């Protein structure tokens, strides 16, 4: 087994895949019990699984670390002595 730790993006992707698979299988099992139609319930469960995989994966990739620099912030370089024109000079 690999001793390296996976990145946070990889962990979010794995958790999204696992969670959506479990939810999709649950939907398929519930529909199969309710409708007595296994092919239809498996098809709907697969569709739910794929939709949740896309939603979880895209949602997790858009989050940013709170300590990450904001590219729109003019003081992102961390230099407090630099005059950015917003404070009055005496």
Q: Judge contact between 69 and 28, C-beta under 8 A.
A: no
pLDDT tens-digit series, residues 53-75: 888 877 755 555 555 555 555 55
- Structure confidence by residue, pLDDT tens digits, 14-66: 888 888 999 999 999 999 999 888 899 999 999 999 998 888 877 755 555 55
Name the burial class of residue 23, with classes exposed (0-12), middle (13-18) and buried (19+) by CB atoms within 10 angstroms of its CB. Answer: middle
> With the C-alpha atoms ordered 42, 47, 48, 54, is the resulting torsion angle positive or negative?
positive
Q: Which of 8, 11, 16, 9 is nearest to 52 (CA)?
A: 16
């Amino acid at each position: 087994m690999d001793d390296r730790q996976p990145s946070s993006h990889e962990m979010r992707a794995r958790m999204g895949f696992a969670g959506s698979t479990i939810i999709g299988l649950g939907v398929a099992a519930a529909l199969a019990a309710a409708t007595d139609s296994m092919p239809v319930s498996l098809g709907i469960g697969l569709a739910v699984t794929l939709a949740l995989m896309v939603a979880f994966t895209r949602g997790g990739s858009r989050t940013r670390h709170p300590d990450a620099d904001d590219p729109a912030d003019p003081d992102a370089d961390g230099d407090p002595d630099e005059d950015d024109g917003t404070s009055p000079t005496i």
